[in-house]
Copies of this chain bind each other. A is one copy, B any other.
Amino acid sequence: MFDKFHDECGIFGIFNHEEAARYAYLGLHALQHRGQESAGICTDDGERLHVQRVMGLVAENFTEDVLQKLPGRTGIGHVRYSTAGGSHPKNAQPFQITFSMGQIAVAHNGNLVNAGVLRRQLESQGSIFQATMDTEIFVHLIARSKKPTIEERIVDACRQVQGAYSLLFLVPGKLIAVRDPFGFRPLVLGKHDGSWVLASETTALSLIDAAFVREIEPGEMVVIQGDNELQSMQALPAAPHRRQCIFEFVYFARPDSFLFGHNVNEVRKRMGEQLARESGVAADVVIPVPDSGVPAAIGYARASGIPFEMGFIRSHYIGRTFIEPTQQIRHFGVKLKLLPVRAVIEGRRVVVIDDSIVRSTTAKKIVKMLWDAGAKEVHMRVSSPPTISPCYYGIDTPTKSELIAATHSVGEIREMLNATTLAYLSLEGMIAATRADGDSFCHACFSEQYPIPFPYDCSAGSCGCSDPDVCQRSSDRTP
């Protein structure tokens, strides 16, 4: 479904390329689905870093003028999610500062669980923070480290943080990538005409015709410098099991991306097929909630033998703030984005496929629109398990109390939605559809099995604060 989870980020880096800023721009465009609030690029002209950050979409805000201000052959970029509050230009990335060793820029995808504690410690020693994002923790730890080289200082900093991070650092002459020991968030390495490329997803490599080389490994640090020399080291020991985010498969990643070795579109279709097998129902038509529900709906239709149709038309012309009539039109907000095709729905038993249900607001409107369009039965099918718990590793889910499945049974939700039937994919079914080792995923949002406890220190009493909520609130949770 559209506009469900806003909070993710995408990162991109390219080393020693004639058109570094322009390729960073293209890479970020390919990763735009991972964040639409702000975008930034930082380039290295060999002596100095140059940074440009804009609010809004890459293609609308990175104009030729802006790109002209980004000289150099190496660059990193970042796209960031969009939320109503908390959005502020100063939280846009890459984050670039000057410290005793000179300039450094960082682009970060992920979330630290001990950000609050670290920040308070640093401030008590006289550090001054500019923004409210976790990412700034890294640069303060690096600035205060006593190690002689930037690489050692980065390792020093990573040892002190706990949480999810795929990172790109830029210092004059060097591009450095790091991934946390659990491998929560993706990070891949590619090559374009001899230049190394790093990106959150392979779709960014595809767009620029770069070859996919491999994933960056959990705990790995890669340093690229000189004449494209790439040096890899194990910065931190990898965790016993990877904890790759399974929600990337469910919703986030672009269908053409290969993630942890598997194509996202194919996994989603298998999730739809598995859903049909687990929760089949007699019906006349299978329709997706576009665009994210399309592959699972194709899979469901195929496994069930029920015809696939586009029962909703998605509008491409939604502006930032749509003005609603004061006099009420039913389900207005959703109708602007999705308009039902009555000829497909009227008089039919409809299976409608969405990838997930978070708060249920949208799902309710969708079911209502189908009834209004004359559906005989409305069978809602969700191609992931109930979302019962927030994410602390880089996705800005609502709080537990806002997650409908955290507080209601499937039966209760069905009733609230006013659907004829409602079924979710099972946790096992979802994992099986990935065809990957089931033990390599983080699925805490579906299972409450958190690889790293959160709030990290408070639960252990180590931070000395009386109220764990304070710890949590003290850092804006997602870069």
Contacts and interface: CB of A to CB of B under 8 A. Distances in A.
Interface of A: 18-19, 22-23, 25-26, 29-30, 32-33, 36, 57-64, 67, 97-100, 120, 123-130, 139-140, 143-145, 203, 206-209, 254-256, 258, 263, 265-266, 291, 294-295, 298, 302, 307-310, 313-323, 325-327, 329-330, 335-336, 339-344
Nearest to A288: B310
Contacts of A302: 307
Given A129-B98, A325-B26, A339 B60 contact: no
A317 B58 CA distance: 8
Nearest to A126: B144
Contacts of A291: 314, 316
14 contacts: A29-B317, A29-B336, A32-B317, A61-B319, A98-B128, A99-B123, A99-B128, A126-B145, A127-B143, A128-B143, A263-B342, A263-B343, A265-B343, A291-B316
A326 B22 contact: yes
A105 B145 CA distance: 28
Contacts of A67: 323
B19 A207 contact: no
The complex is assembled from copies of this chain, and their number is 4
Given A127-B126, A127-B143, A325-B22, A265 B310 contact: yes
Considering residues A23, A32, A323, which has the most beta carbons from chain B within 10 angstroms of its beta carbon? A323
Contacts of A143: 123, 126-128
A36 B317 CA distance: 9
Across chains A and B, which 3 residue pairs bring their CB atoms closest together, nearest first? A59-B319, A126-B144, A263-B343
Contact of A341 (B59, B263, B343): B263
A423 B340 CA distance: 31
Contact of A266 (B254, B314, B329, B343): B343
Contacts of A61: 319
Contacts of A128: 97-99, 127-128, 130, 139-140, 143
A309 B299 CA distance: 9
A206 B339 contact: yes
A58 B315 CA distance: 13
A57 B342 contact: no
Contact of A100 (B123, B316, B340, B342): B123
B29 A310 contact: no
B60 A319 contact: yes
A294 B265 contact: no
Contacts of A207: 335-336, 339
Contacts of A58: 317, 319
